[in-house]
Structure 1
Amino acid sequence: MAGTGTLIYGFVPGDVEPTGSAQGIGDPPADVDTVTYDDVAALVSEVSLDRPLGRSADLRAYQRLLDGTATVSPVLPVRFGTVLTDRDAVRDLLADQHDRIVPMLGRLGGQVQHMVHGRYVEATILAEILDSSPEARQLQERLRGQPEDAFVDARMRLGEIINNSIEAVRDADMQFAVERLKPVTEDIVLREPTHEFDAVNLAVLVDRQRHDEFDRALRELAGTWERRVTLRRLGPSAPYDFVAQLVPEQ
């Protein structure tokens, strides 16, 4: 038999106790409790070792537990899928990492992460590019009404101009968004675009007591970019983008 191990979700202050509704990874969902060392604790559950972790349901359970915890307590997410042999090993890890965990928990007290994602309205950004690039306008006119397989070199050049222009505009818009949101956030991480028409992709750390200010700044930014960028916010969540790796590869 493969046996079981102790899966770690994240680190929290030592006085945190999971509620009865806290559920972890498993089918049925595992009970979650804590292993404590001094003034810090780890959120853990028992997990069977007879199958690898990584199903989408596993990741959702991991995120659901950490995101729910982040709304009421500082939490430091631990790399998904971190499994130790038993609770004594978890306690040893807490002792080893204690002097790193404590200041990070102090820094993140009362703060949650939000994702700010914006995507260009395709017709609007393409019109901007054509207005600013005579070469792109000429190429578009040349290609208008032509078959898809005609003038391949011209199509490639037009695509190159559009891609380079979007990258330049995106860089400027990312900095603009950062300047607008910086006064109402604790920290901001610039993330890579996930789509060719992405305008902004930011992870922001927000103090829960300043949520209304952050919301207001985000609405103002969305108003500035009306009909140009579709802006949305995801969160609150645990501060995944603001926590340094605490657990080495097992």
Structure 2
Amino acid sequence: MMATRAERGDQVQSGQQDGVDRGVYVYGIVDHREKLPDDLPSVGDGKEEVDLASYGKLSALVSEVQLARPLGTREDLLAHERVLDTLAAEATVIPMRFGSVVRTREAVVDELLAPHQGHFEEVLAELAGLVQFTVRGRYANNAHLREIVSEEPEIQELRAAVQGLPEDAGYAERLRLGELVNNAVVRKREIDAETLISSLGKSSAASASHAVAGEDDAMHVAFLVDREAVAQFEQSVDDLGRQWDGRVNLRLIGPLAPYDFLPET
């Protein structure tokens, strides 16, 4: 299958191949177009212009890269995302996986666009008029931990029992307390993510939750939003942010390419 963001195809190269020192980096696929926004960054040394390689009703966003220079710096990743997200602000875009490189512009057409023309056109039609926004939440000033202590009698009892004990005493109780708190945090995150999804459901077409890792992280949810409903969606985020003021700090990121909503292949 084609090299989407979720899969690397055989045509992807990661370095100098067979004496060839230049390749063509592929950012994503859009409906056929003749021009791109100005001042797009590019992966690699940043000096190459992002251009279009077109076939039928499709255009690929591409730029030349030096294969001798390994890709993968933070600047490369940011350039890849900025190209896609800049296009996503005005058009439907299928993001390719970071690091997707083919040998030549002709290979973009012959190995990517032509063989998968029907699939790409179906995906673009399915995602037409939709754009991704991501909402991240962080608990403010340990609000979730205070809630957990007040809501869980067993945690209250164990917490009181181990307070004042020497560090080498009450090992079993401390272990049990840690397990109870960790489990309660997981449940609270799940409930809060469900509240977020429910609150934004009327102004979004789909959602996708991600696991969070930070101690104070509350949620990380991607939403697929109709462009005509963006203002309503943003207002819903603001409303929930006011409701959760002092408890959860919400951060809205977007518009983005629909990274989390590509059809399974």
For the criterion TM > 0.5, the same-fold answer is: yes
One of 15, 24, 41 as aligned partner of 1:6: 24
In the alignment, residue 83 of structure 1 is paired with which amino acid? V
Look up the equivalent residue of 1:186 and give its one-letter code.
Answer: A
Instruction: State the alpha-carbon separation in 2 of the partners of residues 16 and 71 from structure 1.
Output: 17
Which residue of the other structure, out of 204, 209, 223, is the alignment partner of 1:185?
Answer: 204
**Contact persistence 2:44–2:71 (CA under 8 A):** no
Most deviating of 191-200 and 167-176 = 191-200
Q: Which consecutive unaligned segments of at least 5 residues does structure 2 have? A: 1-18
The partner residue of 1:21 within 29, 39, 55 is 39
Q: 1:123 to 1:148 in 2, by over 3 A?
A: farther
Change (3 A) 1:236 1:146: farther
* Residue 39 (structure 1) aligned to one of 57, 80, 86: 57
- 1:125 aligns to what SS in structure 2? helix
> Does residue 213 of structure 1 match 2:222?
no
Instruction: Give the TM-score of the pair, scaled to structure 1.
Output: 0.91
- Is 1:69 paired with 2:87? yes
Single out whichever of 121-130 and 82-91 deviates more from structure 2.
121-130
Aligned pair in 2 of structure 1 residues 124, 21: CA closer, same or farther (>3 Å)?
closer
Q: How much identity, in percent, do the aligned residues show?
A: 37
Would the alpha carbon gap of residues 80 and 169 (structure 1) be closer, same or farther in structure 2, given more than 3 Å must change? same
Change (3 A) 1:19 1:116: closer
Tell me the residue number matched to 1:121: 140
- Residue 108 of structure 2 corresponds to 90
Which whole-Å CA distance do the structure 2 matches of 1:4 and 1:20 have between them? 24
Question: Where do 5+ consecutive residues of structure 1 fail to align?
Answer: none
Structure 1 residue corresponding to 2:128, chosen from 102, 105, 109? 109
**Structure 1 212/149 Cα, relative in aligned 2: closer, same or farther at 3 Å?**
farther
Q: Does 1:141 align with 2:143?
A: no
- Whether the aligned pair in 2 keeps the contact of 1:2 and 1:48 (CA below 8 Å) is no
Counterpart of 1:64, as a letter, is: R
Query: For residue 173 of structure 2, what is the aligned residue in structure 1?
Result: 154
AA matched with 1:47 = V
The aligned counterpart of 1:59 is 77
Count, aligned residues: 246
Distance between the aligned counterparts of 1:114 and 1:16, measured in 2? 27
